Amino acid sequence: MLSYFIKRLGLAAAIVSVAMFLLFCMIYLIPGDPASVALGPRATEEMRAALREKMGLNQPVLVQFWNFYIGAWTGDLGEEVLSGRPVTTVVFEQLPYTLALIVGGITWSVALGIPLGCWAAVSRGSWADRIVGILSVAVIAVPSFVIAIYALLIFAVELRWLPAIGAGEPGNLGDQLTHLILPSLAVGLGWVGYIARMVRASMLEVLEASHIRTARAFGLPDRTITYRYALSIAILPTVTLLGVGIGQMLSSAVFAEIVFARPGVGKLVYDAILTRNFPIVTGTVLITTVLFVLLNLLADLIIGALDPRVRSSF
Amino acid sequence: MSSIFKGDVSRRSVLAGAGALGAASIAFPHIAVSADGSVLTIRSYSDLQVLDPAFWLALPEADIMRSIYAPLVSNQQGDEWNWRPVAVESIEQLDDLTIAFKLRDNIGFTDGFGQMTADDVKFSIERIADPANESPYAGDWSALKEVEIKDNLSGLIHLKNKFVPLWTTTLPTPASCIVSRKAVEEIGGKIGSEPVAQSGQYILTEWVPKQKTVLKRNPDWAYEPGGYEEIHILPIEDPSTAELGFEAGDLDYTWTSVSSLPRLKENPPAGSVVEEKPSLAYVWLGMNQDNEALKDVRIRRAIQHAIDRQTVVDAAYFGAAAVGNGIIAPGLPGSRDSVTYDYDPDKARELLAEAGAEGMTVTLDILNQSERLTAAQVIQANLADVGITCEIKQNDSGTFWTLGSKDGDYFMNLQLVLSRFSMNPDPSWATVWFTPEQVGVWNWERFNNEEYKALHEEGLVESDPAKRDEIYKKMQGLMDESGCYVFLTHEVVGLIHKDTVNPGLKPNGEPLLPLFKPA
């Protein structure tokens, strides 16, 4: 297990290193002068030059990359261009909002997707199965920003049941949850379809297994067989799917944060790209990349711990 | 559909359902964010970053600073550009070069920094003007010689030369906000996102980055109080999101996009007031005269004649905005009723033939906003009509605002560009960007005219409105003549507020936060 752990950790570090290199290249290739954008039309050339120097943009590109690389591995992501606030502070202020959005999205997708998948599986071939199938494909096909806009128009503007913008009063959990309902629905609804389809397929497979047939032979009720014995096995691929899906949910979060004017890392990086606030862009992308890699590492380690075949095959 | 839902399920019941998901046990001390009560909730288009009168970045910061650091004077609300005293008991121009002021007594700084004095005025103004401090707003006080202290509350502002825009674009802006010398020196000379030593009608009590800024009435402000107990400012960049937020009842006041104005005016949300204000901004199509393909003035003139400005503006703004005839908006000295080129495609074709440029191809750079794209597409069609192929290039804001900079590598390839600049209520604010010094900085057309420069200098010191009118009209005539400009519109400002709010607005619709009151 230790060898497996070391190998997976090394792979994670390599992934982060490659991501950092690609990130730096992309940032370097973006046209536009951060100093001009940041300082606005009234700044003098001297002021722009001073800011470029402060940001290290006057140095050779390799030096810039080296400073970025070393700084990142030592936890120094620099300072926000104009306010001078540490990038890590700025990013970690916003990260909880995005994590809450993703957890909310997962909650919606699990709460709706699993029962629907089970229902479709136990009603295989029936009208219910077909309806779930059609709905699943439909919600997968519709982009999250479209869902976000329609959810906002219907539930906030037309019906006025839920707030349209913001993340709720800091310190007021109830208000924050209320503000989370629509954006998390926008992030999670597409995954309802994925999960329903995945659960249905797994359930159909498991329901054919010998131990389920045995349970039926012993006269156990269908409900007990479905939810206690079949679902507990059928849900494992869904957990793996959700692990991979977190990355996609992060990109959906960008739209949700913009449409609902919520704070969060998606909105933060979007604004930072527009203003060429490079330290914030690199810091945010790097931290979310590390988070994603760590979550996948954790998932791999858990699977490795549970299944010796995975360890030996690595 | 809505009536069915409205009949059976209330918002409260949905909230109760949400509570059952895990928060049922949590009390809901929901703050009544309503203009009917003591809280005003408004939208700003960006979050604050720097609350320093010498280094601020965007208009929302200026709105906050004028509320929390008492300025000498501020704008008056209404339809005319006037000023009102705030920190001063009296302020008077004694002659062309001297302004006397006397501060109100009992204006205190928070955080224990004592009373506002004439020395703080001297510090605040000279700090902006001092070139060593590299304030982007040094130009506001470019005419300053010094501030002389007469006594604890009085002083004289001495100018080096006559400076007409002083009362319209310097004093009523953050350039006259007074900060505490002691406080600013203690923090090393610059204020960041956390204000120190506040002194205005409001004080900033809470800032949740990217989410909310809270201003509360300053309990120590001894004069006319702000109209609301609290003002909550939500940073929402996208105007469409803000409009939906307003319609959902989450905002009491917001600017709208110009293209939404016709829809909102025709069908205003219940309990709301939609207003349209004249904008000072100006939108134009620029042509880079140093680009090889556009060097011949006949080609630039052909493009001027090829564009149907009325159609461009109608299409881009859904009929909400009028055609503009220069860089100076109606109501200001120098505003024009017409340009020297009219829409004449035959003349355009003739000029192109004379220049041997039939069938030429040009590029048009724009910012990736829907109004700009629509305008660009009409321009593209107009140009196609006279035989010019136009390729539209959309840019994000970070790229767009550096396209014509001589520090970049694109400025000579730039051909046509659709631009919009914001404005202050003095014509010199518009003309300054087209002087020869600005070539390759903000003068992307590379219009280089010494007569224009001389007129700009003359306008800064001429106080006779009739003569100023003549000067600025002549300058725009020179711009027409260069063939580098097709003036399109000044746009309009759209805003919407609840009918329970009496908004304090400048003539162009910009907010004056301390003047907002319940209706």
In sequence order, the 6+-apart residues with CB closer than 8 A to the CB of B367 are B394, B395, B396, B397, B400, B418, B420
For residue B52, what is the nearest residue in chain A, using CA coordinates? A83
Residue B251 contacts A, CB cutoff 8 Å: yes
Nearest beta carbon to residue B402 from set A36, A172, A263: A36
Residue for token pair 């990086």: A269
Residues of A in contact with B18 (CB under 8 A): 177-178, 181
Residue B134 contacts A, CB cutoff 8 Å: yes
Q: Give dist(CA B486, CA B310) in Å, integer.
A: 12
CB contact (8 A) between residue B248 and residue A160: yes
The Cα of B262 is separated from the nearest Cα of chain A by a number of Å equal to 19
Stretch (H or E) spanning B98:
strand B98-103
Q: Give dist(CA B48, CA B210) in Å, integer.
A: 8
Residue B222 contacts A, CB cutoff 8 Å: no
Residue of higher predicted confidence among B91 and A277? B91
For residue A53, the Cα-to-chain-centroid distance in whole angstroms is: 35
pLDDT category, B31, cuts 50, 70, 90?
very low
| 3-state DSSP of B293-329 | HHCCHHHHHHHHHHCCHHHHHHHHHCCCCCECCCCCC
- Side-chain half-sphere exposure of B288, counting CA atoms within 13 A: 26
For residue B9, what is the nearest residue in chain A, using CA coordinates? A161
pLDDT category, B136, cuts 50, 70, 90?
confident
CB contact (8 A) between residue A47 and residue B139: no
CB contact (8 A) between residue A165 and residue B234: yes
Residue B95 contacts A, CB cutoff 8 Å: no
pLDDT of residue B11: 44
- Are the C-beta atoms of A189 and A147 separated by less than 8 Å? yes
For residue B332, the Cα-to-chain-centroid distance in whole angstroms is: 16
Least confident of A74-88, B59-73, B164-178: A74-88
Residue of B1, B4, B250 for testing the chain A interface, max A β-carbons within 10 Å = B250
Read off the pLDDT of residues B335-368 as tens digits, 9 standing for 90 and up: 999 999 999 999 999 999 999 999 999 999 999 8
For residue B457, pLDDT beyond 50: yes
The Cα of B248 is separated from the nearest Cα of chain A by a number of Å equal to 4
pLDDT category, B37, cuts 50, 70, 90?
low
Among A154, A180, A153, which residue's Cα sits nearest to residue A168? A180
Measured N-to-C along each axis, helices A265-274 and A87-122 cross at an angle, to the nearest 10 degrees, of 130
Q: Give dist(CA B309, CA B378) in Å, integer.
A: 9
CB contact (8 A) between residue A41 and residue B442: yes
Measured N-to-C along each axis, helices B370-385 and B309-317 cross at an angle, to the nearest 10 degrees, of 150
In sequence order, the 6+-apart residues with CB closer than 8 A to the CB of B138 are B128, B129, B130, B131
- The residue type of B255 is W
Q: What is the pTM of this model?
A: 0.83
Q: Give dist(CA A285, CA B298) in Å, integer.
A: 50
Show which of residues 266-285 on chain A sit within 8 Å of chain B, judged by CB atoms: 267-268, 271, 273-276
- Which residues lie across from B100 on neighbouring strands? B92, B156
Question: How crowded is residue B431: how many other Cβ atoms within 10 Å of its Cβ?
Answer: 24
- Are the C-beta atoms of B70 and B83 separated by less than 8 Å? no
Residue B15 contacts A, CB cutoff 8 Å: yes
Region B401-406: what's the mean pLDDT?
A: 87
Structure tokens at A65: 């990359």
* B144-149: strand order across its sheet: B88-95, B98-103, B154-159, B144-149
pLDDT of residue B369: 87
Structure tokens at B70: 């008492």
For residue B15, pLDDT beyond 50: no
For residue B208, what is the nearest residue in chain A, using CA coordinates? A170
For residue B454, pLDDT beyond 60: yes
Residue for token pair 């959810």: A151
CB contact (8 A) between residue B15 and residue A178: yes
Residues of B in contact with A264 (CB under 8 A): 210
pLDDT of residue A208: 84
Residues of A in contact with B134 (CB under 8 A): 44, 46-47, 50
Q: How would you classify the pairing of strands B485-489 and B282-287?
A: antiparallel
Nearest beta carbon to residue B250 from set A39, A164, A271: A164
Residue for token pair 């149907």: B308
Nearest beta carbon to residue B18 from set A84, A177, A261: A177
Asked whether the CA dihedral B265, B269, B273, B276 is positive or negative, the reply is negative
Alpha-carbon distances, residue B368 vs A119, A143, B129, B256 (angstroms):
46, 21, 36, 18
Among A168, A183, A176, A160, which residue's Cα sits nearest to residue B14? A160
Region B315-332: what's the mean pLDDT?
A: 94
Among B128, B125, B50, B143, which residue's Cα sits nearest to residue B88? B125
- Which residues lie across from B95 on neighbouring strands? B98
Residue B11 contacts A, CB cutoff 8 Å: yes
Residues of B in contact with A151 (CB under 8 A): none
Residues of B in contact with A267 (CB under 8 A): 210
For residue B158, pLDDT beyond 90: yes
Q: Give dist(CA B459, CA B462) in Å, integer.
A: 5
Rounding to the nearest 10 degrees, give the CA dihedral for residues A28, A30, A34, A36.
Answer: 130
Q: Give dist(CA A87, CA B484) in Å, integer.
A: 43
For residue B61, the Cα-to-chain-centroid distance in whole angstroms is: 11
Q: What is the mean pLDDT of chain B?
A: 91
Region B6-20: what's the mean pLDDT?
A: 42
pLDDT category, B227, cuts 50, 70, 90?
very high
- Are the C-beta atoms of B117 and B110 separated by less than 8 Å? no
- Residue ranges for chain A with pLDDT beneath 50: none
The Cα of B351 is separated from the nearest Cα of chain A by a number of Å equal to 35
Q: Give dist(CA B113, CA B479) in Å, integer.
A: 51
Read off the pLDDT of residues B474-507 as tens digits, 9 standing for 90 and up: 999 999 999 999 999 999 999 999 999 999 999 9
CB contact (8 A) between residue B408 and residue A33: yes
CB contact (8 A) between residue A276 and residue B210: no
Nearest beta carbon to residue A267 from set B210, B242, B401: B210
The single-letter DSSP state of residue B225 is P
CB contact (8 A) between residue A161 and residue B134: no
Asked whether the CA dihedral B498, B499, B501, B506 is positive or negative, the reply is positive
For residue B396, what is the nearest residue in chain A, using CA coordinates? A274
Stretch (H or E) spanning A115:
helix A87-122
Residues of A in contact with B11 (CB under 8 A): 159-162
CB contact (8 A) between residue A37 and residue B433: no
- Phi, psi for B488 (deg, rounded to 5): -110, -55
- Range B289-292 contact pairs with CB under 8 angstroms and sequence separation of 24 or more: B289/B445, B289/B446, B289/B447, B289/B482, B289/B483, B289/B484, B290/B412, B290/B446, B291/B412, B291/B413, B291/B414, B291/B415
pLDDT of residue B358: 93
Please return the burial class of A237, using the count of CB atoms within 10 Å of its CB with bins 0-12, 13-18 and 19+: middle
For residue A51, what is the nearest residue in chain B, using CA coordinates? B134
For residue A77, the Cα-to-chain-centroid distance in whole angstroms is: 22
Q: Give dist(CA B484, CA B429) in Å, integer.
A: 19
Show which of residues 399-428 on chain B sit within 8 Å of chain A, judged by CB atoms: 399, 401-402, 405, 407-408, 410, 421
- The residue type of A40 is G
Structure tokens at A169: 């009063």
For residue B415, pLDDT beyond 90: yes
CB contact (8 A) between residue B57 and residue A82: yes
Q: Give dist(CA A12, CA A41) in Å, integer.
A: 44
Beta strands in B344-448 (DSSP E): 361-367, 389-395, 416-421
Residue B9 contacts A, CB cutoff 8 Å: yes
For residue B27, pLDDT beyond 60: no
Q: Give dist(CA B4, CA B128) in Å, integer.
A: 61
Structure tokens at A54: 């402060």
pLDDT of residue A227: 78
Residue B441 contacts A, CB cutoff 8 Å: yes
Q: Give dist(CA B375, CA B44) in Å, integer.
A: 26
Nearest beta carbon to residue A32 from set B21, B247, B402: B402
- Are the C-beta atoms of B503 and B252 separated by less than 8 Å? no
- Are the C-beta atoms of A22 and A285 separated by less than 8 Å? no
Show which of residues 160-219 on chain A sit within 8 Å of chain B, judged by CB atoms: 160-167, 169-170, 172-175, 177-178, 181
Residues of A in contact with B248 (CB under 8 A): 152, 156-157, 160, 163-165
- The residue type of B476 is Q
The Cα of A160 is separated from the nearest Cα of chain B by a number of Å equal to 6
Tell me whether 0.85 is exceeded by the ipTM.
Answer: no
Show which of residues 17-76 on chain A sit within 8 Å of chain B, judged by CB atoms: 30-34, 36-48, 50
Residue for token pair 């004249």: B278
